[in-house]
Amino acid sequence: MPTLSDFPIGQKWPAQHPDRLQLYSLPTPNGVKVSIMLEETGLPYEAHRVDFATDDQLSPEFLSLNPNNKIPAILDPDGPGGQPLPLFESGAILMYLADKTGRFVPQDAAARWQTLQWVMFQMGGVGPMFGQLGFFHKFAGKDYEDKRPRDRYVNESKRLLGVLDKHLIGRDWVMGDDYTVADIAIFPWIRNLVGFYEARELVGFDAFKQVARVLDAFVARPAVQRGLNIPAAP
């Protein structure tokens, strides 16, 4: 039976607690989705910081776990059948942790698929569109004279916020009364849009009253507050 020591990633980030789930990440929107989920579930885990400043994500050890060189990734020593499970892609990790713990995903089959559709809404829409907006608004793209690319992502981000805002009318959370992986997937990106990307005015965020309401409830959760700072800066 393989153990954590059989995985090359342990050579660069040795496990101090090899019986715990290993998280390789940074506190970015995709990264904190998983650290928040881990904090919410209470699963024992050990966090390792993947430092982009030193190209850790391009190291052979990290690529052995995630060939797509993106964070987050996990290595669970107690995966299905008691076997270690390496896993990347934040949406897949969220669903895995939900199934592993039986928490934050409905047990009813129809509600489960409806929850998953909102996770995919984030993975396929919110994340990519907000990320591109951030590039063109805050980073190198802001210097492009042609503002049409930026405006394309601004308009699509507004559209997505409008979809979510309408859906949240009369609901405490994305799925209604219950807080789920859909909220954990979506709201770190909403927070990043108006915070780190400094795009509140650009997208007219204050007009999306329902999104703002649920964002406030999300960031007020103690597990969210902890997860937003994991892995900690050195």
> Over the stretch 62-120, which tens digit does the pLDDT of each residue have?
999 999 999 999 999 999 999 999 999 999 999 999 999 999 999 999 999 999 999 99
Task: Kindly report the pTM of this predicted structure.
Answer: 0.96
CATH code of domain 4-103: 3.40.30.10
| Model confidence at 222: pLDDT above 70 | yes
In terms of Cβ atoms closer than 10 Å to its own Cβ (0-12, 13-18, 19+), residue 55 is exposed
**Contact assessment for residue 129 and residue 151, using Cβ atoms and an 8 Å cutoff:** no
Per-residue model confidence (pLDDT) at position 32: 98
What average pLDDT does this structure show over 149-172?
97
CATH 2.170.150.20 corresponds to the domain 109-221: no
Residue 127: pLDDT band (50, 70, 90) is very high
For the sheet with 21-25, list strands across it: 45-49, 21-25, 73-76, 85-88
The β-bridge partners of 45 are: 21
> Over the stretch 4-53, which tens digit does the pLDDT of each residue have?
778 999 999 999 999 999 999 999 999 999 999 999 999 999 999 999 99
Higher pLDDT, 47 or 2: 47
Portion of the chain with pLDDT greater than 70, in percent:
99
Residue 233: pLDDT band (50, 70, 90) is confident
Per-residue model confidence (pLDDT) at position 5: 77
| Model confidence at 2: pLDDT above 70 | no
Q: Domain-by-domain residue ranges, the chain?
A: 4-103, 109-221
Residue 1: pLDDT band (50, 70, 90) is low
Residue 3: pLDDT band (50, 70, 90) is confident
Sequence letter at residue 127: G
Per-residue model confidence (pLDDT) at position 6: 85
- The DSSP code sequence of 121-190 is HIIIIIHHHHHHHHHHHHSGGGG-S--HHHHHHHHHHHHHHHHHHHHTTT-SBTTBSS--HHHHHHHHHH
What average pLDDT does this structure show over 143-152?
94
Buried b (16+ CB within 10 A) or exposed e, 67-104: eebbbbbbbbbebeeeebebbbbbbebbbbbbebeebb
